A and B are shown apart, each in its own frame.
Chain A
Amino acid sequence: MERQEAFEKVVKILTPHVKNMKALDSVSDTTNILDDLKVNSARLVDVVLAFEDEFDIEIPDEDVDLVNTVGDCVNLILEKSS
């Protein structure tokens, strides 16, 4: 899977949970999911489960601890998909 394709899918999955819609206009790998997009931390569960469904991967709890930015999500997904 191409990185750009994964990035677009990640943003699409995150979008329903984003409270700061303005930040989506300039979303990049370094965009922080909680601080910039203002996604509720409690909703990260839904996001991670959606990643698992969309990309047909399994993400251990410990790996979720390493996810802070959109780029972290993309890297994790590409790593698990390969």
Chain B
Amino acid sequence: MGRITAPLWVPVCVAIMHLGFRWRIRGAAEARREFRRLRSESDAPILICANHLTMLDSFAIACALGSTWTYITDYGALAWNTPDREHFAGTWWKRALVYMMKCVPLDRGGDRRAVGNTLNRILYMLSKGEVALVFPEGGRSRKSRVDTEAVTYGVGRLVKNLPGCRVLCVYLRGDGQKFWTDTPARGEQFEIRVRSFEPKTDQRGMRASVDISSQVLHQLAEMEQEYFDGRQ
């Protein structure tokens, strides 16, 4: 359904970003190149892992990583998301709408079995060649910086169960984004940086998941440092 209706809703979403919110994203061309390279390089799964400062980050990242035309002609390039059920899927029509837009709602901090089921769905999508976007900190950065101590096991669990899985780390921040907020400001100028790598670990079980998640968070923290160094 989402694929069929993409020519209708993708241009609307992109127009909302450009004309409604008036957001601009520096570095989008480089990010798209790297994303395209990864997708053409092999069929191994790609998990996008991003820092998280606002509730609309995944929307902005999707707009940065592909054009309207890309998503209409290559729907697989649009990443699956795991938005918070409370904010984005509280009613049946919202659930239907976000599912059409490739979202699997997640009960953050909720029942472990439900969270596990959501992770398993994402795992299945990735194994079928789909792309997924997750936030390794498990929520918005409460310190307004990437918190390498906020290790959750979800990212590691996905990666270790997908042989050859590549991780595309995405660092996105608005110039005026001093703290975490619900939404970015209208007219915000973002900068996006991407870096890809293939996490490896010698650990087992939960420790393997934590090790991989930690590697991803450290990559994001490095990218954040480079972002702030570049602005000085």
Contacts and interface: CB of A to CB of B under 8 A. Distances in A.
A49 B207 CA distance: 7
Interface string A40-82: 1110110011001000001111101111100000000000000
A64 B115 CA distance: 10
Nearest to A51: B206
Given A52-B206, A58-B205, A64 B153 contact: yes
B153 A68 contact: no
Nearest to A58: B205
B81 interface: no
Contacts of B150: 42
B206 A59 contact: yes
A40 B147 CA distance: 15
Contacts, number: 56
Given A65-B116, A67-B112, A41 B205 contact: no
A45 B210 contact: yes
A82 B171 CA distance: 45
Interface residues on B, range: 20 to 34
B111 A40 contact: no
Nearest to B109: A41
B11 interface: no
B152 A68 contact: no
A39 B137 CA distance: 16
Nearest to A65: B116
Contacts of B205: 52, 58-61
A34 interface: yes
A22 to B, nearest CB: 20
Contacts of A65: 112-113, 115-117
Nearest to B116: A65
Given A41-B138, A42-B152, A62-B116, A34 B206 contact: no
Interface of B: 108-113, 115-117, 137-139, 150-153, 157, 204-207, 209-210
Interface of A: 34, 40-42, 44-45, 48-49, 52, 58-62, 64-68
